[in-house]
Structure 1
Amino acid sequence: MGTVQGHCDPAFAGVREVFEQHFAEGRELGAAVAVYAGDRKVVDLWGGVADRRTGRAWLPGTPCFGFSCTKAVTATAALLLAERGAYDVDGPVTGWWPEFGAAGKDGATAAHLLSHQVGLPAFERPVSAEEAADAPALAAALAAQEPEWTPGEAHGYHALTYGWLAGEIVRRHSGRTVGAFVEDEFARGLDLWIGAPDEVIERAAKLSAGRRGPAAERRGASDSPRTADHDLLTRLAAAYGDPDSTMNRSLNNPHPGKGGYNNPVVLRAGWPSAGMLATAPAFAAFYRDLTGGRILRPDTLREAMRPRVSGPDRTLLIDSAFGLGFMRPAQTYFVPAAGRETAFGHTGAGGSIGLGDPDAGLALAYLPNLMGDAATGDVRAYRLVQAAYASLS
């Protein structure tokens, strides 16, 4: 039996070929990919090792950490509440969170929170994994902070703070954590958790670090669809090496502590920015339901997909584009030409991706446990997405 197992519709054989190639080239330890064409699951593949230390095999029901892919799920929860009339996306945050108006943020809107425009890309002080389990306390800390730019005047990726900003929309308007709201409202029956029980954590894939840093970023840039010039690579290298850069302050605080993102403290807490455990079929089913109008109304989704910001990102330094919580095609979210006008979703730092395309009727999820080299735009994810689109033609 080969490394890759599972089902693949013959029309989508290209996805399987790419997935198998990644294992053959040593680009994977363990991983899973799932694709829906409309309501039909056309790809459900997995393979490799779930835990390098023990040699435990990746099984059909193995959940994997999705890093920032979580943000799309959190944003969907917030958007569902807006659709129900709980708050106005373009109205002031102070209307339902009065304390947020401190330090010059009184003009901030919920749309600013959801589209990385609010100017709070990082916490002012170090935050431990244990502290990060207290969502109200972290939200209060952010409410008191002075923004690094006037809300609405720029955008910069809020790598971790996003979860406690967008998550506060959910908590204040539903009285539930993001994880509880998601399970109750649209993920019941799916193997998808933002805040997982111990038995799920125990059987989850364990992350293994790949080579990262400026040299790895250079290799990732040359091995991906991104066109990166020398000046950009120089600025990226400088940001990686500067502990006080916005990039480092945003990506690394709160720190996950011992064991990194395998730390059960993090996985139990379910950080709403980067805390999801899911199987690839369950995560793809989330995008299937989202694009199919079963979570949000189609008009709500279309408005959420509309780019609110695009261009140079103050945190990541490369160009990014965001709707209301969803990434749109840019240097941070590679998609082939067929999906550049209609695809949306989110990437995760380890190489994971979730993608929906309501026009193409496509939903895809890819979750690996071998951390990718590049900070954004993992080439493995791009090749799988490319193969999925090619299979539709």
Structure 2
Amino acid sequence: MSARGASVSGTVAPGYEPVLEAFGAAVENDVDTGAALCVLQHGEVVVDLWAGVADGRTGREWEADTPSVVFSCTKGLMSILLARLVQEGRLDYEALVTDYWPEYAAAGKASTAVKDAISHRAGLSAPRVDWSRADILDWDRATTLLAEQEPLWRPGAAWNYHAITHGWLTGELVRRVTGRMPGDYLSQLVAEPLGVDAWVGLPDEVQDSVAHMVVGPTLEALHLRQVEQARLVAVDWPFRAMTLGGALPDRLVGDDDGFNRADVRRAQIPGAGGIGSARALATIWSATVTETNGVRLLDDATIERATRVQSSGAPFFAVPGPWPRWAMGFQLDSEARRYLGPESFGHDGAGGQVAFADRRHEIGFAFLTNRMEADDPRGTAIVAALDRVVGSSAAVRP
């Protein structure tokens, strides 16, 4: 099919044509990169689109089931796992982290509540000491470093985005409660029952099918500005939160660096290392709000509890607004990240990835791209088009 000159494959249900047009506009300038979009409503696929190139080095085309690194969308998946444990009575948002992870009490963190640890209020947004790639590939090493670290601010007193460290905080809670690594629990609870391809810790047999990530011009320009700004201060903590002091490149990827490396993808790095197809992510988010493929992951009472605002307003380390809002690990609708309204919850990811659910319209949504840009309008424009569709009578209920 065609939209604004872009060659797009896939299907769109009657009434969702504006979403096709928005997706076409998002990919019309892609030459050596691509993208995918999937939307479920009421548990059924209504938009399933893909276009472009998954790997510009070889010319491999993007296909219906092409998996891609989803970056911080992984935090949304981890938040689903935690919410399910709360629903089952195995985890309590109000409890102390040390009730599950006793070693976390070190360096003044004994009073940290679970709800603060998972809503960017832990005070561990960046490491005080430089981490190496070997540190992030070793689960026990990474979680021990965090457990031993003195927080950057009093836990619970303020928030600042835990860009990478968030995943080890949530993941270790999952591991302590279930006895399983978070990627294994994701497979057991979510991916296998739903029949979708999503991983935290990529199996070797699917390494070659993953989209190769490329840094776009706006992200490259932002990187250069950030490097210059970092020279002007003793420690640029938000910048350090992305690199962990050298373990990752500041753009998160390189030609054979960061999340383009097989060993990094193989490791369980649940703050940013999730991998899946757009179809998989949209299916997972759909299953949080309505039965999908015979599975309902979260009940309404749990969603109500898990989506209460925990962090909003200006962060601890000053950055220009607008600022996002956070619930129990979930990202909520805000001026910084528009979803479909107050009934939406999910998480976006570096470079333009967007994935969320909406209770009111029973939507599961995922847009993934391997052309990483900064302050990216592509996903936002597609969400806005979907908002116009579901807010009207144009769409035909599947």
**TM-score relative to the length of structure 1:** 0.89
2:200 is the counterpart of 1:194: yes
Q: Give me the whole-angstrom Cα distance separating, in 1, the residues matched to 2:361 and 2:59.
A: 38
Give the secondary structure class of the aligned counterpart of 2:287.
Answer: helix
Name whichever of 69-78 and 306-315 sits farther off.
306-315
Letter in 2 for 1:179: G
Name which of structure 1's ranges 125-134 and 3-12 shifts more when overlaid on structure 2: 125-134
Q: How far apart are the structure 1 equivalents of 2:278 and 2:205?
A: 18
Give the one of 88, 106, 115 matched to 1:84.
Answer: 88
What is the rounded CA distance, in whole Å, between the counterparts of 2:335 and 2:29 in structure 1? 25
Could you tell me which amino acid in structure 1 is paired with residue 373 of structure 2?
A: G
How big is the shift at 1:134?
A: 1.7
Structure 1, 307-316 or 168-177: larger mean CA deviation: 307-316
| Residue 396 of structure 2: aligned partner | none
1:366 & 1:237 partners in 2: Cα distance?
31
SS at match of 2:284: helix
- Mapping for residues 180-329 of structure 1, pairs under 5 Å: 180-188=184-192, 189-212=195-218, 215-216=221-222, 238=229, 244-253=235-244, 254-255=247-248, 258-292=256-290, 294-315=296-317, 317=319, 318=321, 319-329=323-333
The residue number in structure 2 matching 1:231 is none
CA drift at 1:22: 2.1
Give the 3-state SS of the residue equivalent to 2:103 in structure 1: helix
* 2:50 is aligned with 1:65: no
Distance 1:137 1:217, change over 3 A: closer
Aligned equivalents of 1:85, 1:289: Cα separation in 2: 20
Could you report, residue by residue, the CA deviation over 1:232-279 in whole angstroms, capped at 9, with x for unpaired residues? xx9998369758211111011231684221111111013111111111
**Residue 387 in structure 1 maps to residue 385 in structure 2:** yes
2:234 & 2:280 partners in 1: Cα distance? 37
Flag structure 1 segments of 5+ consecutive residues without an equivalent: 219-233
- Show the 5 A alignment for 1:328-367: 328-335=332-339, 339-367=340-368
* Residue aligning to 1:168: 172
Are 1:46 and 2:50 an aligned pair? yes
TM-score, scaled to structure 2 = 0.88
Query: What RMSD over aligned residues (CA atoms) do the two structures have, in Å?
Result: 2.3
Report if the CA contact (8 A) 2:142-2:168 is conserved. Answer: yes
State how far apart, in whole Å, the 2-side matches of 1:204 and 1:211 are.
Answer: 22
Say whether 1:119 aligns with 2:123: yes
Shift >4 Å, 4+ stretches: 212-218, 234-237, 239-243
What one-letter code is carried by the residue in structure 2 that aligns with 1:207?
Answer: M
CA contact (8 A) 1:117 1:151 kept: yes
Task: Return the offset for 1:99.
Answer: 1.6
More helix by share: 1
1:241/1:34 CA distance change after superposition, 3 Å: farther
Give the match for residue 227 of structure 1: none
Conserved 8 A contact 2:214-2:370: yes
In structure 2, what is the equivalent of residue 102 of structure 1?
A: 106
Q: Secondary structure at the match of 1:196?
A: coil
CA deviations 1:34-57 (Å, max 9, x no partner) are 001111210000010000111111
Seen in structure 2, the aligned counterparts of structure 1 residues 214 and 20 have a Cα distance that, compared at 3 Å, is closer
What is the CA–CA distance in structure 2 between the aligned matches of 1:12 and 1:120, rounded to whole Å?
A: 42
The equivalent of 1:139 in structure 2 is: 143
Query: What's the CA shift for 1:82?
Result: 2.2
Q: Distance in 2 between matches of 1:235 and 1:102?
A: 32
Tell me by how many angstroms 1:216 deviates.
4.4
Give the whole-Å Cα distance in 2 for the aligned partners of 1:391 and 1:154: 38
**SS of match in other structure, 2:333:** coil
Equivalent-residue separation in structure 1 for 2:315 and 2:31 (angstroms):
28
Question: Counterparts of 1:78 and 1:94 in 2: how far apart (Å)?
Answer: 16
Checking the alignment, whether the CA contact within 8 Å between 1:178 and 1:194 is kept in structure 2 is yes
Determine the C-alpha separation between the residues in 2 that align with 1:102 and 1:251.
24
Aligned length: 372
- Distance in 2 (CA, whole Å) between partners of 1:165 and 1:73 is 14
SS in 1 for 2:72: helix
Cα shift at 1:135 = 1.6
1:311 aligned counterpart, secondary structure: coil
